[in-house]
Structure 1
Amino acid sequence: MKQPHSVGVAFSIPFSLFFFIITLAAAADISPGSTLKASNPNHTWTSPNTTFSLSFISDDGAAFFAAITYNGIPVWIAGASDPGGGASDSSASLQFLSDGNLRLVNGSSSSAVVWQSNTAGHGVSSAALHDSGNFVLRNATVSVWSTFDNPTDTILPSQNFTVNKVLRSGLYSCSLLSSGNLTLQWNNTILYWNLALNSSFHSNLTSPNLVLQSIGALSLHDQSLSRPVAMVYSSDYAEGSDIIRFLKLENDGNLRIYSSVKGTRTSIVRWVAVKDQCQVFGYCGNMADISPGSTLYASNPNQTWNSPNTTFSFGFISSGGGAAFFAAITYNGIPVWIAGASDPGGGASDSSASLQFLVDGNLRLVNGSSSTAVVWQSNTAGHGVSSAALHDSGNFVLRNATVSVWSTFDNPTDTILPSQNFTVNKALRSGLYSFSLLSFGNLTLKWNNTILYWNLALNSSFHSNLTSPNLVLQSIGALSLHDQSLSRPVAMVYSSDYAEGSDIIRFLKLENDGNLRIYSSVKGTKTSIVRWVAVKDQCQVFGYCGNMGICSYNDSKPICICPSMNFDPIDPKDSRKGCKRKMNIEDCPKNVTMLQLNHTEFLTYPPDIPSQIFFMSTSTSRLNCITSSPCIAATSLSDGTGRIYMKFPGFVSGYRSPTLPSTSFLKVCGPIIPSPSVSSPRRNDWRLHARIVLVVVIGTAVGFILLEAGLWLWCRRSSSSPKFGGFPDQYAFVEYESSAPVQFSYKELQCATKGFKEQLGKGGGLGAVYKGVIANGTVVAVKLLEGIEQGERQFKMEVATISSTHHLNLVRLIGFCSTGRHRLLVYEFMKDRSLDMFLFSSEEKSGKLLSWDCRFNIARGTARGIKYLHEECRDCIVHCDIKPENILLDENFNAKVSDFGLARLINPRNHRYRTLTSFRGNIGYLAPEWAANLPITSKADVYSYGIVLLEIVSGRRNFEFSWAYEEFERGNVMEIVDARLVDDHKADMEQVMRAIQVSFWCIQGEPSKRPTMGRVVQMLERIVEIEKPPAPKAVEEMSAIGTIVNGRNVERASSSLLRSEHKWSSDC
């Protein structure tokens, strides 16, 4: 099959050719007074080559249609866009009257007109059906009316489809916008498909015109364009000479290109607009209207209002053993909307409750039948509401004769469903928690409408342009942002099962624990699985354990405890409701003391930070709080900065973890009664002896378990601290923001890795990486650095720079070790390993072939991470070792750059030597300036990234870029693309082309010609246009590097290269 290389490639077929064909293909004139009759289907008006015919057709013999057909396939039907669809009876006739009007009537009566052309009095003297399929009414010189100018549901080759024309089929319509976008709408209101023209053309269009070319390309024409721009290709593009293709909007709401071989009566779909038919709005229709006066009763849970496909139901559900009832829309029994859930009562009603759709158009939930016991109502009385319906999308709508007046999608409670529009003025609520979309595109979680504890920011390049942002959860699992200023939606979140399964519904839910999650539920089951969570650490959710409560972990589950025995739980049955003092501070003015809580932080989020931050020593903060009557608690960050957070009367939310550097103090009435949750030495010894006995017993059966348990016990005994979590009292922290690195001892990391047992990878040339589990149960990756000769102070200073980086696409540094000569770094653990394991392995070996969408997201994420290091850090960080092995993937296949900042740990005097020798086998990623002994700047990383980007496209290691550029010049883009992606029909070829061009810009020989990483991100995200890149010049120095590194005596191979004064540039 001859397949085009990219969407948006221009065509050079002259438009005048189409006009020439049409001009030659005129039929013999049809004279006024001619008539076709439904009773004689063999009577037709035919084109000269007999390809097209105009006659009556019928499917069932009851309804007849005057239609133009090709091989018996209707391509135009008289009156198809009218309410009656052009249907007539067996007495119908199509009359070409002497006044020039063409009309379809039942019988012969002029009062039974089904459809007409309204061309009477316009001088029409003849008609003809052209070989193009265009039926024309004309006067002596020009066309007065034609089927091409009045399409119904089909576009034929050479037919001009302009902005003022519309294809219609039932409630669906297809239009061309003045911006060049092609759209599909339901009921002229719901836009469910939009094919955007490349943004570079938008501002220049004057009178866009869409044409289906006979070879299968749907192309856009305009006076401002030097040649047509192809927007769509049929899968049989440019194949066959006896094939006619046509574009058809069908009654299922989808737009398709069909191919039909001349002489046959069959047609084959060659392109479809909406790949997932269920994404077509209203495809399954609405349920039969629910009439005013209808009622649901809590006493009859089997009575429901259902969607047409029974996916969603509206009825009563109960909780608490039948004590409380809720009117809810459910999916597989899972509530996705609850009437009144956002109100103070949460929508709870009793067993006498009813949900009433009143004759005045109001929907209300009441206890009993009294209008005074209203629990919730829609407040739609007097708005002309005449019916209600539950859509297959899960949206319950109250509507008048023409439009929706009120809907659950416009009034969400705690859940967002696929296709639901979530705008700036809406909020999800669950208890004291709320989720909102801000006007500049950020997603936020708040407690009590005040404390902002989670904020997912949109890329800064989009902020200033947003006009009316709108969040949509796509059915495949991407949470994306839409806006008029964006050329395409921006995905902000992906579920872990993104694009998997066809029988799965996903929903976004704000739960009463203050966390936001994406769930997946297989149709037909009553279970749902968490596929994404906003706040990874549940204890970071403000107020999770209530006022004065402390959140901690028992194994991997969050638990709520009181600070000490000086407090009682407010509700012994629900520890999340917080704690209260046994004696109020006001009642013991002479006996107030400060309870010390190690490894504990009282959470401080915006907007509290400015009013609560002070600078003083830990002891001073303790004294200051106890002597200040407004102060009730304080948190010292223990990072040497003297930063203290003071807490005043209000809500105090605590978090305890052995990895937290904070020490907190809480004002109580003495004496202090320790909490049993904090082990005393005696209790700790008792637990230790019990574990030893248990290990010995089990060890008699399983020797291997005894060996590992012995190692664990040795680690426990080595710790002198009896405090929570078994960590020492004093941790030396370099810098602390929300997740500062902990200073571990070498022995602690030895225990965490079980003696450096499970190696994850070589970790480049600076040391191996091992899997470990630290005391709080967090799985980590421990990098054992080799050959680092820095002193402890200098090492900590460099770690401080590394730890100050916080970005979605960078691996997070959890901690470090600088005991003696040992230098180790502790990182977050990445489940899915590094990019090279997926990119350069077969699908069978890797377990999953990376789709193009996944590859492009990885490329874009990697670019964003490097851009952050270069342009957004306090100190510019040049990575020096960008390669697939250092691009790690999380469970959602998000890219995270690792090993950044490690170049800073190498002595500058031998940096070049260490780089060349340590990264042996990765020479293909090093920029030419390494061999030329030139200053190393951020442009060296840009070069390495360009090589990686080319590998992402090609799926091949150290790809030969000179050959790739030659294929690019010839237009053979598919020769560069990974052969395993040939069947990836979802691949955006315009993205592929963009990635290839960006890679060629990045690998330019001269650093000054390479773009910055900020520019790279803009080019990948279509924020700026990409000029054609010049050919990358092969650099002889790269072969010199290979010779140097692979020689037997590296240091002696080239003294001029390795012993010269290192030219390191700190200026990015």
Structure 2
Amino acid sequence: MPNCPETFNCPGLSPFKYPFFNVTDTRCGLIKVNCTAKGGELQLGGRSYEILVHYPLHKDVDIYIYNKTFDYLLKQNSYPSDLPHTCQVVQLPVKNPGLELDETNIFSLLSSYILIRLKMPPPDDDRYKKGSHSDIRNVLGVTILITIFLCLKRKAGRSKKAKYNVKVEMFLKNHEFIAPKRYSYSEVVKMTNSFKVKLGQGGFGSVYKGVLKNQSLVAVKVLSDVKGDGQDFINEVASVGRKSHVNIVSLVGFCLEACQRALIYEFMPNGSLERFIYSHGSSSSSQLGWEKLHEIAIGIARGLEYLHRGCNTRILHFDIKPHNILLDKDFCHKISDFGLAKLFHEKESKISMSHMRGTPGYIAPELFSRNFGEVSHKSDVYSYGMMILEMVGGRKNIEVEVDHTTEIYFPYWIYKKVELHEEQLGLHGIVSDEQNRIVRKMIIVGLWCIQTNPLSRPRITKVLEMLEGDLALLEIPPKPYISSPSRSPPGSPSTNISHPYCSSST
């Protein structure tokens, strides 16, 4: 018979006894426990589980274990790729029913903290010598349950992707005349040299540099997770595929093959506008110059006018911001990213919206509440106004890291300068009277565009007239509405000044 200790201890846990063991001789027990600096780990089915609590009861043993891998997968709403192809329905460990849980999300119901209860025979029972293998098989089943659950999740994911592809394929079939060239996934891999040069990454996926057979450079946006019903993919193809304008990025092609989806755009080597306008301590003019910024403001307005005044179908972008304005090698500026766009017919005066869309800091108030007015092309005008004010200020419109709290909300701060007709606007890089006129014109136009009431905002056509017209003809708009935000400058928790419709900008 082996020399086995009757009990052993791990830091912070109750003493362990049979069927647990922590010696090299496996005849001393059925379940191995490795003591660690923080407690212990249970060894089951070739895996390690952190022991949270160990209750040696009168007859039975309760032990709580924690699965780090399962916890990570739950938080990521993810699953491994190397699962078997067949699945079956099983029972899974769930959280306490008394907790507030989202029953529409299966991941919120599951728990990575698992209670195991071992039914122990009396001390004089022969099963102590033989080992309670039937109970141990139940314990090992925890690992099996987790694997089967993940397999179920994978099957559900395949079903969702299939529905996504059906909707997109139907759209492409019915709109062949607007769809650009379709590429296979193998062609996408080849044009990106196996995704060698990564240009950027976002919530949608990643963007890679590519080269077509004719040596034209392209930017390949590889979409990651399947979200929604495919409407985002359709928006991009329908919006950009049917439009041809010098201030709108060109969609060269797309890929839709099984779960692989990609959008192929013309390459814009200078990246996004935000790279050039957000400079610490100085205005964006130091990067591009006031004349170029004025030119960009006019060009983007022309692009929006083209979208809003379509012949049969009009397009609202709903995500105008510096990040979505791309610059080519000659700094020609183009509107990009139509994933949130909405198409509507010319005769429609009101736009129905099932949910809010856009980026905080640029979203028009009527998208938050219909009490402010109806959603329309004026919603894009609001986003455009916030953008050109950031172009002027060389900073985010809401910025808590400033010297004075009055400067936190830039539109309010610059409005006072313009309203009082101050000669010095407090902006860097203005070295001539002409530049001063350009800057004041952009400020006044931007302030008109961000009026709370959509009816008070100009149409984008009027915006163009104002930007290209005489400064002396422009009236000062009403003061932009502001209120207290949820964000404060460091060290001043009681001082809150911000825009009423967002607590942070991204």
In the superposition, the TM-score normalised over structure 2's length comes to: 0.52
Structure 1 residue aligned with 2:63? none
Amino acid across the alignment from 1:886: N
Alignment of 1:432-831 (within 5 A): 735=176, 741-763=180-202, 765-789=203-227, 799-831=237-269
Counterpart CA distance in 1 for 2:390 and 2:504 is 25
Deviation of 1:927 after TM superposition, in Å, equals: 1.5
Alignment of 1:834-853 (within 5 A): 834-841=272-279, 849-853=287-291
Counterpart CA distance in 1 for 2:249 and 2:188 is 19
Contact 2:396–2:505 (CA under 8 A) maintained in structure 1: no
Amino acid across the alignment from 2:263: L
Residues 1:816 and 1:990: Cα distance change in structure 2 (over 3 Å): same
Structure 1 residue aligned with 2:366? 929
Residues 1:780 and 1:848: Cα distance change in structure 2 (over 3 Å): farther
Residues 1:867 and 1:967: Cα distance change in structure 2 (over 3 Å): same
Contact 2:308–2:316 (CA under 8 A) maintained in structure 1: yes
Contact 2:285–2:293 (CA under 8 A) maintained in structure 1: no
Deviation of 1:830 after TM superposition, in Å, equals: 0.6
Residues 1:741 and 1:1003: Cα distance change in structure 2 (over 3 Å): same
| Matched position secondary structure for 2:447 | helix
| Matched position secondary structure for 1:817 | strand
Please give the per-residue CA displacement for 1:663-722, whole angstroms capped at 9, x wherever unaligned. xxxxxxxxxxxxxxxxxxxxxxxxxxxxxxxxxxxxxxxxxxxxxxxxxxxxxxxxxxxx
Contact 1:883–1:944 (CA under 8 A) maintained in structure 2: yes
Amino acid across the alignment from 2:422: N
Structure 2 residue aligned with 1:832? 270
Contact 2:296–2:333 (CA under 8 A) maintained in structure 1: yes
Structure 2 residue aligned with 1:56? none
Find out whether 1:1034 has 2:482 as its counterpart.
Answer: yes
Contact 2:233–2:339 (CA under 8 A) maintained in structure 1: no
Amino acid across the alignment from 1:751: K
Alignment of 1:71-86 (within 5 A): none
Contact 1:759–1:769 (CA under 8 A) maintained in structure 2: yes
Please give the per-residue CA displacement for 1:826-880, whole angstroms capped at 9, x wherever unaligned. 1100111111111113699x99721111111111111111111111353221111
Contact 1:816–1:824 (CA under 8 A) maintained in structure 2: yes
Deviation of 1:942 after TM superposition, in Å, equals: 0.7
Alignment of 1:330-409 (within 5 A): none
Structure 2 residue aligned with 1:160? none
Residues 1:736 and 1:779: Cα distance change in structure 2 (over 3 Å): farther
Counterpart CA distance in 1 for 2:266 and 2:454 is 33
Counterpart CA distance in 2 for 1:986 and 1:893 is 25
Amino acid across the alignment from 1:817: C
Counterpart CA distance in 1 for 2:254 and 2:441 is 40
Amino acid across the alignment from 2:413: W
Structure 2 residue aligned with 1:944? 383
Contact 2:483–2:500 (CA under 8 A) maintained in structure 1: no
Amino acid across the alignment from 2:393: S
| Matched position secondary structure for 1:912 | coil
Find out whether 1:967 has 2:404 as its counterpart.
Answer: no
Deviation of 1:956 after TM superposition, in Å, equals: 1.8
Find out whether 1:1012 has 2:462 as its counterpart.
Answer: no
| Matched position secondary structure for 2:194 | coil
Counterpart CA distance in 1 for 2:285 and 2:480 is 35
Any stretches of 5+ residues in structure 1 without a counterpart?
1-730, 1047-1068
| Matched position secondary structure for 1:768 | strand
Find out whether 1:868 has 2:306 as its counterpart.
Answer: yes
Counterpart CA distance in 1 for 2:219 and 2:382 is 28
Deviation of 1:931 after TM superposition, in Å, equals: 2.6
Contact 1:735–1:803 (CA under 8 A) maintained in structure 2: no
Amino acid across the alignment from 1:1028: I
Structure 2 residue aligned with 1:1000? 447
Contact 1:863–1:1017 (CA under 8 A) maintained in structure 2: yes
Contact 1:733–1:741 (CA under 8 A) maintained in structure 2: no
The number of aligned residues is 302
Any stretches of 5+ residues in structure 2 without a counterpart?
1-171, 344-350, 399-409, 486-497
Deviation of 1:751 after TM superposition, in Å, equals: 2.4
Counterpart CA distance in 1 for 2:468 and 2:220 is 34
Counterpart CA distance in 1 for 2:354 and 2:222 is 19
Contact 1:732–1:743 (CA under 8 A) maintained in structure 2: no
Please give the per-residue CA displacement for 1:891-937, whole angstroms capped at 9, x wherever unaligned. 222211111354349xx999636x36xx4xxx222222233256532
Deviation of 1:812 after TM superposition, in Å, equals: 0.7
Residues 1:793 and 1:868: Cα distance change in structure 2 (over 3 Å): closer
Counterpart CA distance in 2 for 1:861 and 1:797 is 22
Residues 1:961 and 1:842: Cα distance change in structure 2 (over 3 Å): closer
Between Structure 1 and Structure 2, the one with more strand by share is 1
Residues 1:876 and 1:1036: Cα distance change in structure 2 (over 3 Å): farther
Alignment of 1:36-55 (within 5 A): none
Amino acid across the alignment from 1:1012: R
Alignment of 1:188-203 (within 5 A): none
Contact 1:860–1:1020 (CA under 8 A) maintained in structure 2: yes
| Matched position secondary structure for 1:784 | strand
Contact 1:928–1:1035 (CA under 8 A) maintained in structure 2: no
Residue of structure 2 aligned with 1:859, choices 282, 289, 297? 297
Structure 1 residue aligned with 2:355? 912
Deviation of 1:1039 after TM superposition, in Å, equals: 6.3
Contact 1:802–1:900 (CA under 8 A) maintained in structure 2: yes
| Matched position secondary structure for 1:777 | coil
Contact 1:835–1:884 (CA under 8 A) maintained in structure 2: yes
Structure 2 residue aligned with 1:161? none
Counterpart CA distance in 2 for 1:793 and 1:1031 is 38
Amino acid across the alignment from 2:366: E
| Matched position secondary structure for 1:849 | helix
Contact 1:870–1:878 (CA under 8 A) maintained in structure 2: yes
State which structure, 1 or 2, has the greater radius of gyration over its C-alpha atoms.
Answer: 1
Residues 1:856 and 1:910: Cα distance change in structure 2 (over 3 Å): closer
Deviation of 1:802 after TM superposition, in Å, equals: 2.8
Residues 1:755 and 1:848: Cα distance change in structure 2 (over 3 Å): farther
Contact 1:815–1:826 (CA under 8 A) maintained in structure 2: yes
Amino acid across the alignment from 1:1021: E
Please give the per-residue CA displacement for 1:552-593, whole angstroms capped at 9, x wherever unaligned. xxxxxxxxxxxxxxxxxxxxxxxxxxxxxxxxxxxxxxxxxx
Residues 1:1007 and 1:786: Cα distance change in structure 2 (over 3 Å): farther
